[in-house]
């Protein structure tokens, strides 16, 4: 998936967001939800870099780390989720989506700049 710019990163980060939602539904502690969100964000930011980002994503494996965190903490004694738990999850997902959108807009901007450089307008 990494061969098509932005598509592989988008799918990996959407998968990561789904894992994060499942963790929130299973009442994983807030600090673990935050750690999971940071794993997704780091993978999204560095994964957006050509070639190096793909190698980093293979090595870092944010979704595998998040599933391991989910498995470790989902079995913890259950507690009722609070409004702050839900707000934290929404904020983390919004942050991850902002990173993904920033990467996509940056990629589109870069393509526009490259096309202007390669195909200059008739003057």
Rounded Cα distance between 73 and 103, Å, is 31
- Contact 8/1 with Cβ under 8 angstroms? yes
Q: Which two tokens stand for residue 121?
A: 């307008």
Block means of pLDDT (10 residues each) for the chain, 123 residues, are: 64 83 85 86 78 76 88 73 76 81 84 81 56
pTM above 0.75? no
- Residue 49's pLDDT is 74
Which among 28, 32, 22 has a CA at the least distance from the CA of 78? Answer: 28
Sign of the torsion formed by the C-alpha atoms of 57, 12, 91 and 105: positive
Rounded Cα distance between 78 and 88, Å, is 18
């Amino acid at each position: 998936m990494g061969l098509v710019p932005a598509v592989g990163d988008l799918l990996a980060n959407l998968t990561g967001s789904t894992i994060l939602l499942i963790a929130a539904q299973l009442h994983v502690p807030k600090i673990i939800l935050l750690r999971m969100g940071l794993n997704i964000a780091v993978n999204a930011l560095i994964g957006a870099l050509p070639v190096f980002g793909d190698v980093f994503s293979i090595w870092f494996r944010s979704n595998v780390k998040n599933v391991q965190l989910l498995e470790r903490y989902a079995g913890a004694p259950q507690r009722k989720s609070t409004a702050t738990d839900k707000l934290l999850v929404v904020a983390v997902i919004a942050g991850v989506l902002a990173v993904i959108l920033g990467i996509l807009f940056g990629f589109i901007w870069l393509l526009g700049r490259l096309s202007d450089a390669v195909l200059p307008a008739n003057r």
